[in-house]
Structure 1
Amino acid sequence: MPMKKVSSTFYITLVAVILAVGYGVIAPEHFEAITLNIRNLISDSFGWYYLLTVSMLFFISVYLIFSPLGRIRLGKDSDRPQFSMFSWLAMLFSAGMGIGLVFYGAAEPLSHYAVSSATAPIETKEAYKEAMRSTFFHWGFHAWAIYGMTALALAYFQFRKGQPALISATLRPIFGDRVDGKLGSVIDVFAVFATVFGVATSLGFGAVQINAGLNYLFGVPIGFWSQFIIIAVVTVLFLLSAWSGLGKGIRILSNTNMVLALTLLVFIIAIGPTLLIFNMLTDSIGGYLENLIRMSFRTAPLTPENRSWLNDWTLFYWSWWIAWSPFVGMFIARVSKGRTIREFMIGVLVVPTVLSAIWFSAFGTTAIETQKQGIIDLASTATELTIFEMFSGLPWSFVISVVAVLLITSFFITSADSATFVLGMQSAYGSLTPPNNLKVVWGIIQSAIAIILLYVGGLDALQNVIIIAALPFSIILIMMITSLFKSLKEERRKIKRK
C-alpha cells in the first residue's frame, strides 16, 4: 500500500495490538485474572460516573431533537442524504447491534426471569415484567444516545466543518492545532485500539454462535477448528465486500440483514405466543417509560446483591457501548451526510429502540414461555445455544434455524466489513475513501486476533480489556460533546447575526 497514505496511527496501534495479544497468548489465565480485577474495580468505583454520563448523553440527545439546533444540516445547506432512509437505517442498525440482537434476543430476558433479576424474586410475574423492562433499558435509548452523540460530533465536524474523519479532529474547538500533534495521535490510537479489539471479540463470539447453529442443524462439531473455518470463510466474504466499497458491499449486506431479520421476527411472532407477545410489548413499553428515570440512576448502594446484578448487566452494557462508540459512531457518521441534526437524532435514537423493543418482546416472551412449560431447560443452556434450543420447541424449527444462521452470518460479515472501513479511515488521515489494501490488512488482523484468542481461550480477557478501555474513552466522549456544543453555539450566533 502507498506508505504516504498510511498514518503513524496504523503502526503505533499495530505494535500495541501485538503486545496485548502476545500477553494473552503467553499467559492467558494471568491476563484474564488481571483484566477481570481491573474491570471489577472500575465497575465498583465508577458505576455512578457511568450512569451519570450515559444519562447525560440521553438527555442531550432528546434536547437536540426539539432544539432549534436540530435544523442545522450535517454538511452544506444544499447537501442531501446519500442513502435512502431504509438503507441508512439498515446500515446503522447492522453496524450498531445486529449480531448482539440474535445472540441475546432470547438469552437476556430469560436470564433476568429465571437466573437473576434486578429487584424481583426469579420466576415470578414481577420478574417477567422486570426482565423485559431491563432488556429494553439496556438496548434502548441510552445505548443509542452513546452511539448517536459520538456519530453526531464526527458527522458535524466532517461534513459541516470540513475536518478529517478522526476522533481527534472533533476536539479542535477545545485544543486548537494541538490535535494535529502528539495529543491527537494518542486519541486516535486509543480509538483504533478499542475498535480492533471490540470487533475481534465480536468475530470470536459470532463464530461460536454460528458454530452452535451449524451443530444444531447439521451436527457440525463444536470446537476450535470449526470456528477457525467459519472465521476464514467469513473473512474472505467480508474482504470481498470491503473491496467493492460502501455504496455496494455494505449497503447491500445491510439491506439483506434487515430483510432476514424481519423474516425471522415475523416467523417468531406468527408461530410463538402471538397475543402474549403483543401484550408484553405494549405493557413493557409502558413499564420502560414509567421507570426510565429510576433505572437511569439506580446504583443500589445499600443492597450488595442488586449492585452485583448492576455490575454484571447495566454497567457492563454501558461500558461496552462506550467502548464500541468510536467504531459505530464513525461508521454512522460516514453514511449520514446531508441529514439535519433533528432527522439524524430521531433516526438514530428512536427507530432502533422501537425495533429492539419489538425484537426482544418476540424472542424474550417466547423463550420465557418455553422455559415455563418445563419441556426444555433453556436457562441452563449456553448463551450461544439458547436461541436454537428455543427453536427446537417450535414448529418449522429447522427452517427458522437456517434463517437465524444466515442472519448471524450476514450480520457478522457486515460488522467486520464496516470495521475494516472505519479502521481504514482512521489509519489514512481520516480519508472518507481509504485504500482497499489498507482495509484488507485490517480485516486480516481482526480475524487473526479472533482466531488466536479462540485457540488460547482468551476472548473473555479481551472483552475485559474493551470494558476497561471505556473509562478513558468516556472522558474523550465528554470532551467531544463539549466541543460540539461550543461549535454549534458559535454557528447559532452567526445565523442570528445574519
Structure 2
Amino acid sequence: MDRIVFGVAAAFVVGVIAWGVLSPDGLADFAAAGFVFVTTDFGWLFGVLTVVVFLFMMWLGFGRHRVVRLGQDDEKPEFSTISWVAMLFSAGIGIGLLFYGPLEPMTFFLDLPPAFADTTPGSDGAMHIALAQTLFHWGPVAWAYYALVGGAVAYAAYRKGRTPLMSALLEPIFGQRSHGVLGKVVDVFSIVVTLFGTAVSLGIGALQIGRGIEIVGGVGPLGNAVIVGVIAVLSVAFILSAVSGLKRGIRALSNINMALAGVLALFVLVVGPTVLLLNLIPGVLMTFVGELPALMAQSAATSPDAQGFMSAWTTYYWAWWVSWTPFVGMFIAKISRGRTLREFVTTVIVVPSVVCLIWFTIVGGTTMWLEQTGAAISEAASGQDMLFTVLNELPFGAVTSVLAMVSIVIFFVTSADSASIVMASLSEQGNPTPRRWTIVVWGVALASIAAVLLVGGGQVALSGLQSLMIVSALPFAIVVILVMLAWAKDLARDPLTIRRRYAREALDQGVRAGIEEHGDDFVLGVVATAPDEGAGAWLDTEDPALTDWYRPGAAEREPAMSEASASVTAESVPASSAGSTES
C-alpha cells in the first residue's frame, strides 16, 4: 500500500463530498466558472490534442512499430478477442450508449451544429448530419485517447517491466523523478478523476434505472430511499464482481451484456424502419468521412454560435475522454497483454467505432424516424425518459424496456467494478492483483459518492461534479502529451526497433558489396568485420538506456531478451530490405 497516495486521494474525496453535501450551490458555481474557463480559453488545446492523439495512434498501429508486442515477443493474448472486445465496451462507454443513443442524435436533428446551419432541421439530410456529428464524438477520436493510455501502460508494464502506474509512463522523460513527488501527484490525480468520473456516470445510470422503474412499473415518482436502495443493491453486485477477478466476474458480465445489447439493437432494427436503417449505416459512414474536415473545422470557428456549441458538446466530450483515460486506459492495459500494436490499435479504435456507428444509427435513426412520423419523442420529460419513450413506441415496449434496464444495470456493475480494481491497483503501487479489502474500500467509496451526491445535492451537486471533471481534464491533458513523448522515446529504443534497423543496415551493406564485387551473381553471407565497420557500427551496446531498462521484479515474468535479440524474423525485416534480399 502506498500510504501517501491512498491517504491524499481519500482526503480529497472526503473534502469534495462534504462540499457537495453542505454547499451544493457553492460547488456548482465554482465548477461552472471553471468549466467556462476551460472550454472557452483552452478549447483549442483539446481540439488540437484530439487530432494529434488520433494521428499518433495511427502511426503506432500501422507504422514501423506495428509488430511490437505488449509483452514478450512470443507471448499469447490472455483473453479471447470476443471477451476482450466485450470488456472494452463495458469499461468504456457502456451506460453512455444507452443514455445518449437516442438523445444526442435527436438533439442535433432538431438543432443542427453551426457548421451545417444551412441544412433544414428535421429533414433527411439533418438525419445524416446528426449521426455523423454523434459518431465524431463517440467514434475513432474518442477511442484513440483510451488506446493511447491503455497501450502505453501495457507496453511499460508487460514489455519494459515497469509498474503499471500512470506515473511510470513518464520515466523515459523524467527518470527517477517519476517515482518521487511528481509521480505521486500523477497517481493521486488518476485516482481522483477515476473516482469522481465513475461516480457521475453511476449517478446518471441510477437515475435512468429509477426512471425505468417508474415507467415500466407504472408507479409514482421514486423518493431518495428507493434511489439509495438501487445503488446499494448494485454496489453489492459490483463489489462481488470486482473481488472475483477479471476472468470470473467482469468477463462473464461483459459477455452477457454484449449479447443483451446486441439483441436489443437487432430487435429495434427488425421492428423499426429496417430499410431506412440499413441504408443509413453506409450513408452515415460516408457522410462522416466526407464531412470530417468540416466537423474538425468547427473547433477553429470564432462565431458565438460555434463557440457555444463547442463548449456544450465537442470540447466537453474531448475533456471528458481525457479525464477518463486513467481509468479506462489502465483497465484496457490489464486485458490487452500479448497483443501487437497493430492488433491493439485496430481493435481498440476501429472495432468499437464500427459498433458505435451501428448502435447510434439504429437507435438514433429510429428515434429521428419516429419524430418525423409524429411520435413527438422530443417532448420526453428528460434525457432519462427518451430511451424508454422510444421503446414504448415500438412493439413489446414493456419487455424491451425491462431488457434495457437489465443492460443498464450490468453496465453499471461492470463500469464500477473495473474502476474499483484500477483504483485499488493505483493505491497498491500498481499491483495487478490488489487485495480484496482495498477493492472493497474503493468500491464502497464509489457507491457512497454516487448516493451522497444524489441524496444530498441532487442534480445540482451531480452537475457541479461533472463540470469539475472537465476542469480536472486540463492538467491531465498535459500528462497525455507527455505520455506520447515518453512512449515514442521508449519505442525508438525497443529491442525490436533496434533489430529491424540492424537487419536493414546488414542487408543494405551486403547487397551493395555484392553488386560492387559480383554484379547480379551473388548470395548473401555472414562474415566478421572490424568493430566500427559492420552493420552494428551505429549501436552502442553498452548504453544503459538499452541494457538496464528491464525490471523483472515489477512484472509477472521476465522476457528472454537475450534469445529474442539473437533472432531476426521475416516480420522484423522492413519490406524495402526484403526486396533488396530478393535482388
- CA shift for structure 1 position 465: 0.8
Match for 2:469: what amino acid?
I
Other-structure match for 1:494: 498
Other-structure match for 1:386: 386
Q: Does 1:101 find its partner at 2:88?
A: no
Partner secondary structure for residue 106 of structure 1: helix
Partner secondary structure for residue 74 of structure 1: coil
Other-structure match for 1:444: 444
TM-score, structure 1 normalization: 0.97
Match for 2:498: what amino acid?
K
- CA shift for structure 1 position 7: 3.8
Partner secondary structure for residue 210 of structure 2: helix
Other-structure match for 1:123: 122
Other-structure match for 2:154: 155
Matched-pair identity in %: 39
Q: Does 1:41 find its partner at 2:37?
A: yes
Other-structure match for 1:84: 80
Where do residues 68-83 of structure 1 align in structure 2 (5 Å cutoff)? Answer: 68-83=64-79
Larger radius of gyration between Structure 1 and Structure 2: 2
CA contact (8 A) 2:367 2:377 kept: no
Where do residues 290-439 of structure 1 align in structure 2 (5 Å cutoff)? Answer: 290-299=290-299, 301-439=301-439
Residue 187 to residue 232, structure 1, CA distance change in 2 (3 Å) = same
Other-structure match for 2:52: 56
Other-structure match for 1:464: 467
Summarize deviations over 1:168-199 as a string: whole Å, max 9, x none: 00110000011111110001001111000001
Q: Structure 2 unaligned runs (5+)?
A: 503-564, 566-583
Distance in 2 of aligned mates of 1:245 and 1:277: 39
Where do residues 164-203 of structure 1 align in structure 2 (5 Å cutoff)? Answer: 164-203=163-202
Partner secondary structure for residue 69 of structure 2: coil
Distance in 2 of aligned mates of 1:241 and 1:153: 26
CA contact (8 A) 1:51 1:297 kept: no
Distance in 2 of aligned mates of 1:318 and 1:302: 18
Other-structure match for 1:473: 476
Distance in 1 of aligned mates of 2:376 and 2:391: 11
Match for 1:270: what amino acid?
V
Distance in 1 of aligned mates of 2:223 and 2:159: 49
- What RMSD over aligned residues (CA atoms) do the two structures have, in Å? 1.3
Match for 1:328: what amino acid?
V
Distance in 1 of aligned mates of 2:304 and 2:470: 21
Partner secondary structure for residue 433 of structure 2: coil
Where do residues 170-249 of structure 1 align in structure 2 (5 Å cutoff)? Answer: 170-220=169-219, 221-249=221-249
Distance in 2 of aligned mates of 1:83 and 1:134: 33
CA contact (8 A) 2:112 2:130 kept: no
- CA shift for structure 1 position 300: 5.2
CA contact (8 A) 2:377 2:389 kept: no
- CA shift for structure 1 position 19: 1.1
- CA shift for structure 1 position 471: 0.6
CA contact (8 A) 1:371 1:379 kept: no
Residue 454 to residue 116, structure 1, CA distance change in 2 (3 Å) = farther
Partner secondary structure for residue 493 of structure 2: helix
Other-structure match for 1:276: 276
Match for 2:313: what amino acid?
W
Match for 1:43: what amino acid?
T
Distance in 1 of aligned mates of 2:442 and 2:11: 13
Distance in 1 of aligned mates of 2:302 and 2:160: 48
TM-score, structure 2 normalization: 0.83
CA contact (8 A) 1:144 1:349 kept: yes
Q: Does 1:19 find its partner at 2:15?
A: yes
CA contact (8 A) 1:136 1:356 kept: yes
Distance in 2 of aligned mates of 1:401 and 1:150: 35
CA contact (8 A) 1:420 1:442 kept: yes
CA contact (8 A) 2:377 2:390 kept: no
Distance in 1 of aligned mates of 2:36 and 2:374: 35
- CA shift for structure 1 position 380: 4.4
- Give the helix-richer structure, 1 or 2: 1
Distance in 2 of aligned mates of 1:40 and 1:124: 32
CA contact (8 A) 1:82 1:337 kept: yes
Distance in 2 of aligned mates of 1:136 and 1:373: 24
Distance in 2 of aligned mates of 1:471 and 1:343: 30
Distance in 1 of aligned mates of 2:156 and 2:260: 35
Distance in 2 of aligned mates of 1:100 and 1:261: 13
Distance in 2 of aligned mates of 1:377 and 1:109: 12
CA contact (8 A) 1:378 1:389 kept: no
How many residues end up aligned between the 2 structures?
494
